Chain A
């Protein structure tokens, strides 16, 4: 089977096609193009400063491992920032335990510091225990809120001034559409890939915001990363799955849809930012959009150690 030559180097056979740009890339130019794309996003959205200490949220999935790999290459040669990998164990039996081994081996092979936090130690509940409770919200709603808090806490703990997450272009476009479908325009502000400087928050950056998930997947395949075998047992509950399928179908029929959706969301950020200034939660003092932060809304008493479980 023969393929056309790479449209960048014109020397080697191509292995990957980008329908949205028409490029056909060899493995070497594909890898280089991802490093360059991430570097451009970092610059475009002013994500880093020289000497930043970056906590990289690594779940063990292909996106976060790709992020860690790309940032390590970029920071080794440019910004000179420090990288520390951070992982949150939500306590999902059979899912996260496999991922922890993958993260530990990846960090060891790259010579990176790794810090682990658990829902159990931070909130007194594992995700499996929370999912078993009578609840109106889907498990992903709980998990997302608690994971964001846990990542912020652990990033502060390791002295980071940036928290990098593996959100891809697909994630960004899905979140934008979800915010519209739920009528939650105020949440668009959190889609700023360069993050916000806010008291109590480690600034969150999303260096993969312009990299489609198909490309993080192919990068992980080319790099021979260990792929997680287990799927999250609660993933099917999320509305995001439906939006993902819709956007994937649109992208297949109309290449570039993901980029357009993302660009549109960027235009809505200034208005969203005006609408939602952060204050301190009246219970736990953590940053919050309202009087009570989402963690204290979901787990009343936990921040004060009154949940009848292991207090923080």
Chain B
């Protein structure tokens, strides 16, 4: 399964602004975050409690199934830092 990940704001500073990821079929958002943290260690732990807003094709992940939301083929996942800048 192939998804496009867009990093907004400070997250784009620690890696590229956009990356393509391939994960096993049936993967969920939580799997993607773990894979991203392993592939790009500079991102650190992508923990929602530490302030990451996850938007899947324009829909905030909390409005779906949160970290258990299934990824969609060729979907776009945007990660936006919450705890950054007033």
Interface residues of A (CB under 8 A from B): 1, 3-4, 13-17, 19, 24, 27, 59-64, 99, 165-168, 171, 213-214, 217-218, 220-221, 227-231, 244-245, 248-249, 252
Contact = CB atoms under 8 A, between A and B. Distances in A.
13 contacts: A1-B70, A15-B58, A15-B59, A16-B59, A59-B86, A60-B85, A61-B85, A213-B82, A217-B53, A218-B55, A218-B60, A227-B80, A231-B10
Nearest to B75: A1
Nearest to A13: B59
A218 B81 CA distance: 10
B74 to A, nearest CB: 12
A205 to B, nearest CB: 15
Contact of B49 (A1, A15, A252): A252
Contacts of B86: 59, 61, 63-64, 165-168, 171
Nearest to B59: A15
B84 to A, nearest CB: 6
Contact of A231 (B13, B50, B82): B13
Contact of B9 (A1, A167, A229, A248): A229
A166 B86 CA distance: 6
A245 B50 contact: yes
A190 B9 CA distance: 30
A139 to B, nearest CB: 16
A221 B84 contact: no
Interface residues of B, number: 31
A56 to B, nearest CB: 12
Interface in B60-79: 60, 62-64, 69-70, 72, 75, 78
A249 B49 CA distance: 5
Given A15-B63, A17-B62, A221-B53, A214 B82 contact: yes
A19 B27 CA distance: 24
Nearest to B72: A1
Contacts of A59: 85-86
A245 B9 CA distance: 20
Contact of A24 (B9, B13, B63): B63
B30 interface: no
B68 to A, nearest CB: 13
Nearest to A19: B62
A227 B9 contact: yes
B61 to A, nearest CB: 9
A14 B63 CA distance: 7
A249 B83 CA distance: 13
A167 to B, nearest CB: 7
B13 A252 contact: no
A64 B84 CA distance: 12
A3 B49 CA distance: 23
B32 to A, nearest CB: 14
Contacts of A168: 86
B5 interface: no
B48 interface: yes
Contacts of A14: 59, 63
B26 to A, nearest CB: 14
B8 interface: yes
B85 A63 contact: yes
A203 to B, nearest CB: 19
Nearest to B69: A1
A1 B10 contact: no
B49 to A, nearest CB: 5
Contacts of A62: 9, 84-85
